[in-house]
Chain A
Amino acid sequence: MDITQAENIRQLRATILRTVYDNHRQQQSRLRLVLLEGMLERLFFEVARNDLIAVLQDLKERGYLNFREDRDRYTRKVNIGEIQITPKGRDLVEKTETDEAVDFD
């Protein structure tokens, strides 16, 4: 992974966290992968679906996000739904906490 890509991923993590945070604050229905993917595409993030899933899984492992992960019975494709931010993730967006892996600037 080159430095540019790493920087992009840090920005991507921040964008995802902030989007989910805003969604939570507005008390909208929980986001799904397809919505997040469409939104990022419109924001010119060139990210393939599997890469996006990997980033989401990474954020979940870090304890910033929670979501439901299903695998289609026939196509075996992963689908992600009910994405929600955790208190730890909210702290990060509100800058109560900081993480070098998430670039909010």
Chain B
Amino acid sequence: MTSRVAAAVNGSSVKSALLTLGGIGGGVSLSYLLVELLKADPELSKAALQTVMQWGPLFVLFAAVLYLNDRRFGQMIHNQNESQKATLEVQRDHAAAQQKLAESVHRLAERDYERQRETELVVAHMARDAKRNRELLEEIHNRLNQSEKAHGHHAG
């Protein structure tokens, strides 16, 4: 018996019971308020009745829509929650993917920076070597000139 009761009282039945109770409570409160209002002002009741009579078939449609909304309201909330959960999961996956992308771009940029620094270092080294070679060549050139001049003096 206890197990049967426990089985009956699962999550969904509790939720639907609460929704039904809430709906009934709301309806009773609204009706009570309406009756009190009509009692306080009989003219208002006439006006309300006339208004409803003027609606005609629209009133029936309105009542049917209210009834259907009441029935489907809980389901709608449930569906909306599920949809929100799914959206959140998608957003979380999207954020994770974006983070991975940012990390990859950062790594690429770092690699580019390293390549650039390597090139700068190599160029600096080669420029220094080129300068030293030029100085060496100038020195050799000067020595040759001096030697030629000395040779020319002797020859002259």
Contacts and interface: CB of A to CB of B under 8 A. Distances in A.
Contacts of B115: 38
Nearest to A19: B121
Interface residues of B, number: 11
A66 interface: no
Contact of A15 (B118, B119, B125): B125
B118 A22 contact: no
B139 to A, nearest CB: 14
Contacts of B119: 42
A39 B128 contact: no
Nearest to A29: B117
B135 interface: no
Interface string B61-85: 0000000000000000000000000
Contacts of A39: 118, 121-122, 125
Nearest to A23: B121
A34 interface: yes
A8 to B, nearest CB: 16
A1 interface: no
A43 B125 contact: yes
Given A35-B114, A35-B117, A38-B114, A43 B124 contact: no
B114 A18 contact: no
Nearest to B118: A38
A19 B117 contact: no
Contacts of A15: 125
Interface of A: 15, 18-19, 22-23, 28, 34-35, 38-39, 42-43
